[in-house]
Structure formats: C-alpha cells, structure tokens
Amino acid sequence: MNEDCTRVRYQVDAGVATITLQRPEAMNAFNAALRNELLAQIRRAEEDGDVRVVVLTGGAKAFSVGADLKEPYNPPHETVEGLIIEEYKPILDAIAGSSKPYVAAVQGPAAGIGMSLAMNCDLMLMAEEAYLYAAFAPIGLVPDGGATWHLVRAMGYKRAYQTIIEGSKIPAAECLALGLANQVIKSEGFLATVLAYAKGLAERAPLALRYSKQLARSAMCATLETCILDEAALQNITITSRDSREAVQAFFQKRPPVFEGR
C-alpha cells in the first residue's frame, strides 16, 4: 500500500510502515506542513493493524537538517517554546509512547531537531557517510526535542556538553561506538537493507516487541526494584499469551512461529 501526502509518504509492506519525509528542496527542514503531516502519518501507523514496525526516513539526501529557519513566526503572540511543545513534542511523544518499534533510517545528515527525532526512535541505522549534527550553539541556540537527554545518557555529561557547545558533528561510526546507532550500513542498497532488517523485526512476537520497548524506555529512569516489578507484571501477560504458546509449539515442531499479536 502506497499513499503520498504533500510532504510525507506512507507505505506498508510485510508488516513494515515506511514513513518518508519528502521536502528534498529544503533537505527535509521542518516547516508547519511537514510537522503536521508527519504527526498524522505516525498516528496512522499506530492505528494500522497491519503495521508491526515503523521505519522513519528522509531519503538519500538528508534525514532532516532540523527546523526551517526561514519559516516565520509571530512574537509575542507566538513563541518558540509554544511551537516546540505544541507541534514537535506530540511527534516525539507519539514515537516514544507507541506500542510499535520505530527505526530511524539515517542516510544523510540529521541535524538540530532532526537529530533529536532520529535519536528518539527506538533503533537507528545509519549509512557510512551519515552523521548527527548538534547544530544549536553555532547559531546561538540550545538543544531541543530531547537532544540533551539522549546525548548525556549516551556520552556522559562532559562529552555531551562539549558536543553541544562546540556544535559537533558525530559521524556514523562514532554513533555506533556510543550506542546512538545500532548499525552502520553501506550507502549502496541502504534502504533495502534497512527494510529487510525491519521486516525481520516484524516477524517477531508483537507483544514481546511492545512490552520490551515499554520496559526499556521506563528503565532509563526507573529504580531496579521498579524495573523488576514491571518485568514481572509484563512477563505474566506474555507467558500466558497465544503467541508464547505458539512459539513453544513451533520450537518443538522445528518450524517458524506464526505470531498474531495476542
């Protein structure tokens, strides 16, 4: 299934929804139209019962270079704070709170809020020449979209602060070493490789994907005691599921399991 909006393409194949930012003339810089359409397609993927995994990409030229600095806003009636909270935060929250894993496919630069968006996904696959770019301090700004949260947890305070204030680019290989990226892939056939990976995920037990995401997200800020209790509660759900019984039967019958998500 394919459907093109003005600025965002939505495609579904074998349980994988691919959401593609399509503003190449601006290297996928975010304006109001792109923000609104992206949120709509993310919500669509969440409601789509055929979708088990979501790939978010910007195509070969760029993932996104961040906010469109040419887009006007109208102070004092409109503030950047309000814009971030009302238009960017719902996108980031929808991804973090989704029951489905999101894979960021970063083939070019991911800068500014584009970097924040990529880091907010559950997994990140990068092309060899791709990079993250903390493009805030060079234009007199501070990070937004949760970039500080992600960088400090990956790099530690001192390196993250240095990256932020120096406006550093983080090459794909370094992202992999830091744990910001999961794989670095050759540019030739990049998206095909990403989609093959995503389709492999889509064949896994949906409840295990969903609750593992929930546990990993909450563990970032939870105590060990809370994590153990949360794991116990969700293990009780998964072990009594039809998918778990199917996986056990498939193991003994030496065949691939067929999961239904229940």
Q: What is the pLDDT along the chain (262 residues), one digit of tens a residue?
A: 555 458 999 999 999 999 999 999 999 999 999 999 999 999 999 999 999 999 999 988 899 999 998 887 776 668 889 999 999 999 999 999 999 999 999 999 999 999 999 999 999 999 999 999 999 999 999 999 999 999 999 999 999 999 999 999 999 999 999 999 999 999 999 999 999 999 999 999 999 999 999 999 999 999 999 999 999 999 999 999 999 998 888 889 888 888 887 7
pLDDT at 111: 97
Instruction: For residue 15, give both structure tokens.
Output: 């349980």
What strands, in cross-sheet order, belong to the sheet with 2-4? 2-4, 8-13, 16-21, 53-57, 102-106, 123-127, 183-185
Between strands 183-185 and 123-127, the pairing is parallel
pLDDT at 31: 94
Question: Are 113 and 171 contacting, i.e. CB atoms less than 8 angstroms apart?
Answer: no
- Model's pTM, two decimal places? 0.93
